[in-house]
């Protein structure tokens, strides 16, 4: 909780670009300090708590709230290289959507495919028997199953398909190297788009794109756990109380001599504050909602 005299002037705010929007958030260090002041001490809910415990539960609270309450969506924009791969960001947890940006700056969504993958290839000898590593140094490979380095044959074959084959008009792969089904013989909504497609190789940490996206501008919108850097460990003020309740519940639930009805009380409070924060951060504006509903009576021919 900031002191009463630490506010900055209008001049300092409008002439210091890094501070724009900072008032909306409170950082983790402030939350920990506030919690220790308000909830810990003689005659308070918790008589004695280690600051490290508060920090742990505070970080866990940011993680949990980042997944479905806080606006934790981050973005990365790249130009797809010839390898058709994009490295997953360092703080990547899951993706929200991946889009292709056209020449007008319009974002067009691309969708995942289940028609190919990049499995780990097992090393085999000339007789196709499995080969093993020799970790004990006895000259005999009999320890651990050996894997080939590099990409699998599945991905290499997929990556070597010609980018255009006008004669393939059956249920096969076309210029974008994915299933034609539903494009020529009846519309299948799963494939009713020509923006390209992708699959994510979580084991290696890559996103693989279809060949028609080579050289295109791609934007990845993904969820972070909010703990990538110290600067990212911030919480919107709408969700500040939810973090306090998360910390309180974590501390109380971890104590062996705490009455169960007290534990359940703070579990309910944590849930209630998280729900309140989610409603606040949904940012629904009645005017915008009304504008969308204006087309509800429009006849579709």
Q: How far apart are CA 232 and CA 27, in angstroms?
A: 8
Pair (159, 44) in one structural domain? no
Do the domain assignments include residue 1? no
Residue 174 is predicted with a pLDDT of: 43
User: Which candidate, 243, 244, 267, places its Cα nearest to that of 40?
Assistant: 244
Pair (213, 95) in one structural domain? yes
Cβ burial, residue 25 (10 Å; 0-12/13-18/19+): middle
The neighbour count for residue 90, using CB atoms within 10 Å, is 9
Question: In this structure, what token pair is assigned to residue 89?
Answer: 């960001």
Pair (52, 161) in one structural domain? no
Q: Cα 58–62–63 angle (5° rounding)? A: 115
Q: Please state the pTM of the whole predicted model.
A: 0.70
Residue 241 is predicted with a pLDDT of: 94
Pair (171, 268) in one structural domain? no
Assign 167 to helix, strand or coil: coil
Q: Which structural domain range is residue 172 located in? A: 73-224
Question: In this structure, what token pair is assigned to residue 220?
Answer: 């990845």
Do the domain assignments include residue 296? no
Among 205, 224, 243, the domain boundary falls at 224
Give 34's contacts (C-beta < 8 A, 6+ positions apart).
1, 244
Assign 235 to helix, strand or coil: strand
Pair (91, 44) in one structural domain? no
- Tell me the C-alpha to C-alpha distance, in Å, between residue 104 and each of 101, 109, 219, 245: 8, 15, 14, 46
Pair (243, 194) in one structural domain? no
Q: How many domains are contained in the chain?
A: 2
Q: Can you state the angle between helices 240-253 and 260-281, rounded to 10 degrees?
A: 160
Q: How far apart are CA 142 and CA 125, in angstroms?
A: 14
Q: How far apart are CA 273 and CA 246, in angstroms?
A: 9
Q: Are 1 and 37 in contact (CB under 8 A)?
A: yes
Do the domain assignments include residue 3? no
Do the domain assignments include residue 249? yes
Pair (52, 169) in one structural domain? no
Pair (88, 46) in one structural domain? no
Do the domain assignments include residue 289? no
In the block, residue with structure tokens 């705010």: 13
Do the domain assignments include residue 299? no
Q: How far apart are CA 180 and CA 261, in angstroms?
A: 59
Pair (167, 52) in one structural domain? no
Do the domain assignments include residue 183? yes
Pair (149, 92) in one structural domain? yes
Pair (176, 270) in one structural domain? no
Q: What is the residue-level pLDDT of the chain in tens, covering all 301 positions?
A: 544 445 677 777 777 776 777 888 899 999 999 999 999 988 888 888 888 999 999 999 998 888 888 876 789 999 999 888 999 998 898 898 999 999 899 999 998 887 788 888 888 778 878 777 766 666 665 667 777 777 788 877 777 655 443 334 334 444 444 455 444 555 666 666 778 889 898 888 999 988 888 899 999 999 888 887 777 888 899 999 999 999 999 999 988 888 899 999 999 999 999 999 999 888 888 888 888 888 777 776 5
Do the domain assignments include residue 300? no
Residue 129 is predicted with a pLDDT of: 82
Side-chain half-sphere exposure of 47, counting CA atoms within 13 A: 4
Pair (208, 234) in one structural domain? no
Go through 42-57 and write b for each residue having 16 or more CB atoms within 10 A of its CB, e for each that does not: eeeebeebeeeebbeb
30: Cα separation from own chain's centroid: 25
Q: How far apart are CA 226 and CA 65, in angstroms?
A: 9
DSSP secondary-structure letter at 7? P
Cβ burial, residue 166 (10 Å; 0-12/13-18/19+): exposed
Q: How far apart are CA 233 and CA 262, in angstroms?
A: 29
């Amino acid at each position: 909780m900031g002191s009463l005299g630490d506010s900055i002037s209008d001049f300092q705010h409008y002439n210091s670009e890094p501070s724009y929007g900072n008032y909306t958030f409170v950082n983790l260090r402030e939350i920990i300090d506030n919690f220790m002041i308000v909830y810990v001490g003689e005659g308070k809910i918790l008589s004695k708590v280690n600051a490290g415990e508060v920090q742990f539960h505070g970080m866990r609270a940011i993680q949990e709230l980042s997944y479905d309450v806080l606006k934790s969506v981050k973005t990365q924009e790249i130009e797809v290289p010839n390898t058709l791969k994009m490295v997953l960001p360092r703080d990547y947890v899951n993706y929200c959507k991946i889009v292709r940006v056209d020449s007008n700056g319009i974002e067009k969504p691309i969708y995942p495919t289940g028609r190919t993958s990049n499995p780990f290839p097992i090393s085999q000898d000339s007789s196709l028997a499995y080969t093993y590593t020799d970790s004990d140094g006895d000259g005999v490979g009999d320890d651990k199953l050996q894997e080939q380095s590099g990409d699998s044959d599945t991905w290499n074959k997929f990556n070597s398909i010609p980018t255009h084959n006008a004669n393939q008009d059956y249920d096969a792969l076309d210029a974008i190297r994915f299933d034609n089904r539903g494009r020529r013989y009846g519309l299948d909504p799963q494939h009713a788009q020509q923006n390209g497609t992708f699959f994510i190789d979580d084991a290696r940490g890559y996103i693989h794109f279809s060949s028609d996206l080579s050289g295109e501008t791609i934007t990845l919108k993904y969820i972070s756990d909010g703990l990538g850097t110290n600067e990212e460990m911030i919480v919107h003020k709408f969700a500040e109380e939810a973090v306090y309740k998360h910390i309180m519940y974590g501390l109380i639930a971890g104590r062996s001599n705490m009455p169960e009805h007290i534990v359940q009380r703070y579990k309910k409070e944590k849930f209630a504050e998280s729900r309140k924060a989610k409603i606040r951060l949904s940012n629904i504006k009645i005017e915008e909602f009304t504008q969308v509903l204006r087309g509800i009576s429009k006849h579709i021919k």
